[in-house]
Structure 1
Amino acid sequence: MATTNPPSDAPLRLHGETVRPEWLDYNGHMNVAYYSLVCDHAGDAVMDWLDLGAAYRARTGGTIFAVEAHVTYDRELSLGDPLVVETLALEAGPRKLRLFHRLLHAEQGYQAATNEVLLLHVDLNTRRVAPWPDEGRARIDALVEAHARLPRPPEVGRHVGAPRG
């Protein structure tokens, strides 16, 4: 599933998948690792949409590395459940991009998980963090500016912890 919404009026919906048999754990639901995998695939779709993904890497040797992530697991997913990911661009800088993904059940609409991730732009020739190219930075900045007008989900910026009680 690949659909695009204008960045000015909605989160991006660029990626969807279906829960596969190999993603199930011994409890019969989707294993925690695959929630992150689906969100990682959504991040790849966003980078492709920004023309900073696989084709950009092949052309320039520039890529992204994830350096920090926070995941919440909100509801179980089962074999065959259709998934869609909504993405907000939260923040950008000369070398970074912070994305927030909401993993949703594509038919029932409930939130199954969230994933907030910090990405850094890396020059694969030096394996060091490097500035975004000017045209890529302009696209990122436009997306972050558009998404700044959207409400922030309560999970943005959360830390690991449990309610007291």
Structure 2
Amino acid sequence: MTKVKNPLLIDSVRPEWIDYNGHMTDSAYAILFSIAVDQFMVKVGIDEDFREKVKYSIFTLETHLCYLKEAHKGQSLQVSIQLLDYDSKRLHVFFTMENEKGDRLATSEQMLMGMNMEDGHTAPFPEEIQINIEELSKAQTNMEVPKEAGRKIGIRKKSRNE
């Protein structure tokens, strides 16, 4: 799989993120991926100044987290993003969290929606943002779709005795 060279977000596991099992709590993974969405918005041009001036933002519609390995206090983390698909208002994105060794710790597949903040309705991406999204898509053309993308939650049917 082709890796993103520049992580979107670099952070470390904060003491307040540690749970009673001695590793990062599930809610902390969600917090870190939420921070990554904010960083992604800045990457495509939707920073605080843009949001105030244009009255435009991105909302998260759906999230699917997969916890792959434990993260521990003080551990360095990095989050990268892959744009799986997009249209004029929506982004289907996939975040991967890794430790300093490059081990995949968690993934977050998300559907994001462009929003007009004045009327509270969905709205197409402003032209300059759409251009940035298209450039990101072109830069990631050769990336494989992650195996966790598109998964659904369910229990595989087995015999009752298993």
| TM-score, structure 1 normalization | 0.88
Answering whether residue 136 of structure 2 is matched by residue 148 of structure 1, we say: no
**Partner Cα separation in structure 1 for residue 85 and residue 142 of structure 2:** 12
The alpha-carbon deviation at position 53 of structure 1 amounts to 3.0
Matched, 1:159 2:152: yes
SS state at 1:108 partner: coil
**What is the root-mean-square deviation of aligned Cα atoms in Å?**
1.8
8 Å Cα contact 1:24/1:30 also seen in 2: yes
CA shift digits 1:96-131 (9 cap, x unpaired):
1111000001x2211110001110000111111111
Q: Distance in 2 between matches of 1:24 and 1:151?
A: 33
Q: Aligned letter for 1:156?
A: A
Give the conservation status (yes or no) of the 8 Å contact 1:9–1:146.
Answer: no
> TM-score, normalized by length of structure 2?
0.89
In the alignment, the residues of structure 2 paired with residue 10 and residue 118 of structure 1 have an alpha-carbon distance, to the nearest angstrom, of: 20
Q: Which of residues 22, 25, 30 is equivalent to 2:24? A: 30
Distance across 2 between alignment mates of 1:69 and 1:9? 22
Q: Deviation digits for residues 21-71 of structure 1, max 9, x if unmatched?
A: 111111111110111111111121121011123232122110010000110
Aligned residue number for residue 111 of structure 1:
104
Unaligned runs of 5+ in 2: none
Ranges of 4+ aligned residues in structure 1 off by more than 4 Å: 162-165
**Which stretch of structure 1 is more off in the superposition, 148-157 or 123-132?**
148-157
Q: Which structure has the bigger radius of gyration? A: 2
- Equivalent pairs, count: 157
Note if 1:102 corresponds to 2:118. no
Is the Cα–Cα contact under 8 Å of residues 48 and 55 in structure 1 kept in the other structure? no
Structure 1 vs Structure 2: percent identity of aligned residues? 30
Structure 1: stretches of 5+ with no match in the other structure: 1-7
Question: Quick check: 1:81 aligned with 2:90?
Answer: no
